[in-house]
Structures are given as structure tokens and as C-alpha cells.
Amino acid sequence: MSDRQIYLISPIDVSGDFPSRLARALDAGEGIVTAFQFRVKDIDQHEAARLAKPLQEICAEREVAFIVNDSVSLAKRIGADGVHLGQKDGDPKEAREQLGREAQIGVTCHASRHLAMEAGEAGADYVAFGAFYPSTTKDTEHTAEPELLSWWSQLFEIPCVAIGGITSENCRPLEHAGADFLAISGAVWSGDEVKAIEAFRQQMED
């Protein structure tokens, strides 16, 4: 069995029946989906906290880490397991001071070895590289090559996350290159989430 894991990222719209979809996805992904990122845009913090609450409970029941995208203040407000920081979202050291030693802090490093080393030095728990493939959920500004994952995994203990357009059909090269986590969003939420997760499991466990 592969020791690679899935880092599941929410769609922008997490209203309606999304909590039940998340529960189904996590149940299908038991043992391989170990983190979930709450990623919403253009809503105030009160509304974000309201939407996060049922999702956070679903993750807690299944021992899946609940990570807030971009906002240290929201992560602190709702007691999230951690925060994921883009390059413009703050400093990992400051996030650590606000969220505590146990918080999981990740940093987007695009295709940059330099940014990843800086993040590691600043105390990040993981670094995220990408995009490896064109994404349907986010504009692709930076393109990374699998060799970057190999370089990182050979030199550093800090886990690395591969992100950007990853599907069950194209994930194998990233696994083989050394990605500890595959960040997945559109490949799961654009169709039947259970079938999608099962397709990833088959690829990751073969």
C-alpha cells in the first residue's frame, strides 16, 4: 500500500448539500484522505465560520485535519487544526504565534526551491508545489515539474504537497517523484465524489 495521502480541497461553494458530500468523500477515503482544506472566497468571516462549522465536525469525527485557506484569523476563531498560507497571506512564524505549537501550517511555494526553503526555515509543517497540471478550479500562474518533488523529498524531512489539476489518471508521476500528499479538488467535486476517491485509491494502492 502506498504511504501517499490525499489532501482534499473544498470547492468555493460549500453551501447546500456539500456537508453530506464531504462526509461521503471522507468515508470513501478512509485511510488515504487525511486533511481537508476549507477554501471559500469573498464572504465575511462570520459567514465563513457558519459554513465551516458542520464541515469541521465531519472532519473531527473522522480524524481528518481541518485546514483553513489563507486566513489565520478565521483559523484561530474556529479552532481549526491549521492554516494554509499563500505567498501574500502572512508569515508562518506569526501564524505559529497566533495558532500555537500544535497547528499545522502550510505554505504555497509555487515552483520555487527558494520559497520552499524559506518556508521550512520559518517553521512550516508542509510546503505545497504546483501547479503540475492545468487546473479547472484556479488560474494557473506557476507551473512545476515532478523533479521538484524529487529534489525536495531527497533533501528535506518536511512533507510536500503536489497541487494543480491532479486526477486519478495523472497522479502516478507525482507519487513516484516523491509527493507526500496529492491536493485534489475539481477531480472529486465535479462528479461523483465516492467514485472519484475510489479511483484515486486504486491508483495509489496498486
Please name every residue paired with 127 in a beta bridge, in sequence order, or none if there are none.
Answer: 107, 160
Candidates 65, 47, 69, 44; CA nearest to 56 is 65
pLDDT tens string 67-77: 999 999 999 99
Q: The C-alpha cell of 88 is what?
A: 501574500
Backbone angles phi, psi at 151, to 5 degrees: -60, -50
Report the predicted TM-score, pTM, of the whole model to 2 decimal places: 0.96
Please list, in sequence order, all residues whose beta carbon lies within 8 angstroms of the beta carbon of residue 206, skipping any fewer than 6 positions away. Answer: none
pLDDT at 206: 75
pLDDT at 94: 97
pLDDT at 1: 33
pLDDT tens string 44-86: 999 999 999 999 999 999 999 999 999 999 999 999 999 999 9
State what percent of residues in the chain have pLDDT above 70. Answer: 97
pLDDT at 80: 98
Cα–Cα distance measured from residue 164 to residue 143, given in angstroms and rounded to the nearest whole number: 9
Query: 134: burial class by Cβ within 10 Å (0-12, 13-18, 19+)?
Result: exposed
Q: Interhelix angle for 113-121 vs 146-155, to 10°?
A: 30
Candidates 146, 141, 136, 140; CA nearest to 182 is 146
Domains of the chain as residue ranges with CATH: 5-205 (3.20.20.70)
The stretch 97-124 carries a mean pLDDT of 97
pLDDT at 68: 98
Backbone angles phi, psi at 35, to 5 degrees: -145, 145
Question: 130 and 115 in contact (C-beta within 8 Å)?
Answer: no
- Using the predicted structure, report yes or no on whether residue 34 has a pLDDT greater than 60: yes
Q: The C-alpha cell of 58 is what?
A: 465531519
